[in-house]
């Protein structure tokens, strides 16, 4: 079997020749150890600063060359995901940056007065203060008009299309789509969750708007040569969902189910869902919404892959098994135990893809990464 056939067998809950292997993302420090030189691939803050400084082509060239080199080196990976942050769409070729004002080496202020900060833990840049978070208004009339969707500049797909062209014949390609709706987030997390309580009609109107936007965008954002669509949104904390299951059923399920059906019918592609957190109360709805595969099965949020396999292994293809926390802070012996647990728990009957519980995150110990690979290659065959 080649990679495409292997992954498709897993999605169909058939037994392939061996367990497929994929990663949602591999962050820059592991990429650099693998390739032996610096890179912009999954170097989120470094890439963003370079874009702000007008070095768009430099970043794009690195993403293209190093992306291909990475997956050639890791030729045992069956899945290539081409729409991850710092490895997907890029600014257009005529991009004219309007950078935020730098306050110090790790802090910026944008035109809206928001304060952005470099996270040393994740090496990305996030908003730490938004002065308008609680005064910004979201109104029904904001979502009355039809979405204005125009074809993107083709150059924004320069990296995505380059990777697809390089690997379309021998790897399973996961890519993006138009807006997936999901949990509508009006503003930052805290404000967005409040909107569900105080402005439910506005949240629903926004969802209907984003649904139409997504359908219109699909023709441009689903790229020729990709095999499936993956969406990424966290629906839960470590202890449970962000909103009640009843609210999730009301606000999220109907439009997401329609979006999945659109992509299944119009593009013949399965939809995969990356979702961290404790999702036990939502998994029946994951099945109802039509997700083909559930990735980011987080054991530190009580999502043990053995238990998930027993209860949902006949309904969802499962992707994961190795706790990212152990990759960062554990020992090679921890990783050996994790590989054994994941494979023994989820292998039987197919419907399983091996990988980390999230991604090969910043701070992963390279010895742990290599141990995970070596142990998996030893036990991957059916």
Mean pLDDT, residues 344-362 taken together: 97
- Decide: 173 and 80 in contact? Cβ < 8 Å: yes
pLDDT at 121 over 90: no
Beta bridge partners, 81, equal 174
Taking residue 111's Cβ as centre, other Cβ atoms within 10 Å add up to: 9
Mean pLDDT, residues 178-188 taken together: 96
Handedness of CA 36, 38, 40, 42 (dihedral sign): positive
Residue 105 pLDDT: 95
pLDDT, tens digit, 9 for 90 and up, residues 159-177: 999 999 999 999 999 999 9
pLDDT at 141 over 90: yes
| Rounded-to-integer distance, Cα 287 and Cα 59, Å | 39
pLDDT, mean over the chain: 97
- Decide: 19 and 79 in contact? Cβ < 8 Å: no
Handedness of CA 216, 207, 279, 334 (dihedral sign): positive
Backbone phi, then psi, for 162, in 5-degree steps?
Answer: -65, -45
With both helix axes pointing from N to C terminus, report the angle between 44-52 and 56-73 in degrees, rounded to the nearest 10.
150
Residue 315 pLDDT: 97
Residue 305 pLDDT: 97
CA-based end-to-end distance of the chain: 12
Residue 27 pLDDT: 97
Mean pLDDT, residues 4-31 taken together: 97
- Decide: 266 and 218 in contact? Cβ < 8 Å: yes
- What number of CA atoms fall less than 13 Å from residue 97's CA on the CB side? 16
Query: Which of 181, 180, 162 lies closest to 87 in space, CA to CA?
Result: 162
| Rounded-to-integer distance, Cα 185 and Cα 22, Å | 29
Mean pLDDT, residues 202-212 taken together: 98
* Token output for 382: 């059916």
* Token output for 163: 């990777």
Mean pLDDT, residues 42-67 taken together: 97
- pLDDT band at 86; cut points 50, 70, 90: confident
Q: Is domain 3-36+63-93+134-379 in CATH 3.40.50.11890, yes or no?
A: no
Mean pLDDT, residues 50-59 taken together: 98
CA 284 to each of CA 83, 224, 306, 312, 316: distance values in angstroms, whole numbers, following the listed order: 27, 32, 17, 9, 10
Q: Give the full edge-to-edge strand order of the sheet including 125-129.
A: 101-104, 107-109, 115-118, 125-129
**DSSP string of 192-222?**
HHHHHHH-HHHHHHHHHHHHHHHHHHHHHHS
pTM above 0.85, yes or no: yes
pLDDT at 84 over 90: no
**DSSP string of 355-372?**
EESS-B-TT--HHHHHHH
Mean pLDDT, residues 180-204 taken together: 96
pLDDT, tens digit, 9 for 90 and up, residues 227-243: 999 999 999 999 999 99
Residue 85 pLDDT: 79
């Amino acid at each position: 079997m080649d990679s495409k056939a292997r992954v498709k067998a897993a999605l169909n809950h058939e037994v392939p020749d061996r367990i497929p292997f994929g990663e949602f993302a591999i962050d820059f420090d592991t990429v650099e150890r693998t390739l032996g030189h610096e890179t912009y691939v999954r170097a989120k803050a470094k890439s963003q600063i370079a874009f702000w400084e007008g070095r768009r082509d430099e970043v794009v060239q690195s993403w293209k060359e190093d992306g291909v080199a990475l997956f050639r080196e890791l030729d045992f990976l069956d899945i290539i995901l081409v729409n991850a942050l710092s490895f997907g769409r890029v600014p257009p070729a005529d991009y004219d940056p309007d950078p935020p004002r730098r306050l110090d080496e790790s802090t910026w202020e944008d035109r809206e007065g928001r304060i952005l900060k470099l996270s040393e833990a994740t090496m990305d840049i996030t908003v730490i203060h938004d002065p308008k978070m609680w005064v910004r208004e979201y109104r029904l009339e904001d979502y009355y008009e039809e979405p204005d969707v125009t074809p993107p500049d083709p150059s924004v797909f320069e990296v995505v299309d380059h990777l697809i062209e390089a690997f379309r014949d021998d790897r399973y390609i996961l890519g993006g789509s138009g807006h997936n709706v999901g949990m509508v987030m009006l503003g930052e997390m805290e404000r967005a969750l409040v909107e569900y309580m105080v402005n439910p009609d506005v949240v629903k109107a926004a969802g209907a708007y984003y649904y139409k936007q997504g359908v219109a965008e699909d023709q441009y954002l689903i790229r020729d040569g990709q095999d499936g669509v993956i969406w990424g949104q966290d629906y839960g904390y470590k202890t449970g969902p962000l909103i009640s299951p009843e609210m999730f059923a009301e606000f999220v399920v109907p439009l997401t189910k329609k979006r999945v059906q659109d992509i299944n019918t119009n593009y013949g592609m399965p939809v995969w869902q990356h979702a961290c957190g404790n999702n036990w109360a939502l998994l029946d709805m994951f099945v109802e919404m039509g997700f083909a595969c559930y990735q980011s099965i987080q054991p530190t949020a009580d999502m043990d892959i053995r238990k998930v396999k027993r209860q949902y292994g006949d309904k969802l293809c499962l992707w994961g098994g190795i706790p990212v926390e152990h990759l960062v802070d554990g020992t090679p012996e921890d990783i050996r135990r994790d590989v054994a647990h994941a494979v023994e728990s989820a292998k039987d009957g197919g419907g399983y893809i091996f990988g980390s519980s999230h991604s090969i995150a910043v701070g992963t110990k390279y010895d742990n990464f290599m141990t995970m690979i070596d142990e998996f290659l030893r036990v991957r065959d059916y």
